[in-house]
Amino acid sequence: MNTTPEPRTLVSGGARHGYFSVPEVDGSERLPFSLKVVLENLLRNRSSGLVGAADIAAAVARGRSGTVHDPAEIAFHPSRVFLHDTNGVPVLTDLAALRDAAAAEGLTPQVVDTRLPAHMTVDHSVVTDLFGRPDAPQLNVRREYERNSERYRFLKWGQQAFETLRIVPPGAGIMHQVNIEYLADVVTARDGLIFPDTVAGTDSHTTMVNGLAVLAWGVGGLEAEAALLGQPVSMLIPPVVGVSLMGELRPGVTATDLVLALTERMRQTGVVGSFVEFFGPGVAATTVETRCTIANMSPEFGSTCAVFPPDARLLDYLTLTGRAPEHVGLVRDYFEAQQMWHDPSSPPVFDHVVEFDLDQVAPSVAGPRRPQDRVGLGDVPKVVGEAVPDTPMPEKSPGHGAVAIASITSCTNTSNPAVMIAAGLLARNAVRRGLRTPPWVKTSLAPGSTVVTDYLHDLGLIEPLEELGFGLVGYGCMTCIGNSGDLLPEMTTLVRHEGLAAAAVLSGNRNFDGRINNDVSLNFLASPPLVVAFGLAGRTDLDLTSEPLALDADGRPVMLADLWPSDEQVAEAARGALTPEMFRRAYATLFDGDENWRSLEAPEGPTFAWDPDSTYLQPPPFVHPTPRPDHGEIRGARVLELLGDSVTTDHICPAGRIPSSSPAGRFLTARGVDIRDLNSYASRRGNWQVMELGGFGNQRLVNHLVPGLPGGHTLDLTAQEPQVVDVPTAARAYSHMETPLLVIGGKEYGSGSSRDWAAKVTALLGVRAVLAESFERIHRSNLANMGVLPLEFSTGEDVARLGLDGHEVFDITGVDADGLASRAARVRATHPRTGRTTEFEVTIRLDTERERQYYLAGGLLPYVLDDIRASARERGGRVRRTRGRG
Residue 155 per-residue DSSP state: H
* Cα-based distances in Å from 217 to 83, 124, 220, 305, 404: 12, 19, 10, 6, 33
User: Which CATH number is 751's domain given?
Assistant: 3.20.19.10
Could you tell me the pTM of the whole model?
0.91
Handedness of CA 174, 176, 177, 183 (dihedral sign): positive
Count the alpha carbons within 13 Å of 162 in the hemisphere toward its beta carbon. 31
538: left (phi over 0), alpha (psi -120 to 50) or beta: left
Mean pLDDT of the chain: 93
Same domain, 725 and 808: yes
Domain-embedded: residue 869:
no
Question: b/e string for 785-823 if b means 16 or more Cβ within 10 A?
Answer: bbbbbbbbbeeeebbeeeebebbbbbbbebbeeebbeee
**Confidence (pLDDT) at 886:** 42
CA-based R_g, the chain, Å: 26
With CA atoms as reference, report the closest residue to 598 among 118, 121, 159, 156: 156
Q: Choose one of 334, 362, 390: the last residue of a domain.
A: 362
Name residues whose C-beta falls within 8 Å of residue 169's C-beta, 6 or more positions apart in sequence.
Answer: 122, 591, 592, 593, 594, 597
Which of the pair, 818 or 105, is modelled with greater confidence?
105
Same domain, 418 and 552: yes
pLDDT of residue 884: 36
Question: Does 253 lie in the same domain as 156?
Answer: no
Distance, in Å, from the CA atom of 289 to the CA atom of 208, rounded to the nearest integer, reads 10
- The reported pLDDT for the residue numbered 64 is 64
The answer to whether residue 675 is domain-embedded is no
Asked if residue 194 belongs to a domain, the reply is yes
Please enumerate, as own/partner, the contacts of 456-464 that have beta carbons within 8 Å and a separation of 24 or more: 456/420, 456/421, 456/424, 458/577, 459/421, 459/424, 459/573, 459/577, 460/428, 461/421, 461/424, 461/425, 461/427, 461/428, 461/573, 462/424, 464/424, 464/427, 464/428, 464/430, 464/431
Confidence band (pLDDT; 50, 70, 90) for 882? Answer: very low
Same structural domain, 288 and 228: no
485-503 per-position pLDDT tens digit: 999 999 999 999 999 999 9
* In a shared domain, residues 188 and 251: no
Q: Looking at the structure, do residues 493 and 508 belong to the same domain, yes or no?
A: yes
User: What are the angstrom distances between the C-alpha of 882 and each of 114, 115, 149, 163, 228?
Assistant: 9, 6, 31, 9, 12
Domain enclosing residue 605, as ranges:
77-236+597-617
Whether residue 555 is found in the same domain as residue 607: no
Q: What is the pLDDT of residues 441-484, one digit of tens each?
A: 999 999 999 999 999 999 999 999 999 999 999 999 999 989 99
Q: pLDDT at position 512, please?
A: 87
Pair (397, 335) in one structural domain: no
Ramachandran area for residue 704 (φ above 0: left; ψ -120 to 50: alpha; else beta): alpha
| 252 lies in the same domain as 385 | no
Identify whether 820 is part of a domain: yes
Domain presence at residue 884 = no
Asked which of 362, 395, 418 is the last residue of a domain, the reply is 362
- CA pseudo-torsion sign 175, 181, 183, 184: positive
**CATH number of the domain encompassing residue 10:** 3.30.499.10
Query: Is 133 within the bounds of a domain?
Result: yes
Each residue of 35-92: pLDDT tens digit?
Answer: 999 999 999 999 888 899 999 999 998 766 544 456 788 999 999 999 999 889 999 9
Same domain, 266 and 332: yes
Across 605-631, average pLDDT: 85
pLDDT, average across residues 631-638 = 88
In a shared domain, residues 650 and 795: yes
* pLDDT beyond 90 at 313: yes
Domain boundary among 305, 331, 362: 362
pLDDT (tens digit per residue) in 169-214 = 999 999 999 999 999 999 999 999 999 999 999 999 999 999 999 9
What's at 235, amino acid-wise? M
Q: What is the mean pLDDT of residues 1-29?
A: 89
Contact 447, 453 (CB under 8 A): yes
Mean pLDDT value of segment 354-372: 96
**Nearest alpha-carbon partner for 578 in 287, 296, 328, 341:** 287
Residue 165 lies in a domain: yes
pLDDT value at position 66? Answer: 44
**174 and 245 fall within a common domain:** no
Is 201 inside any structural domain? yes
**Domain count along the chain:** 4
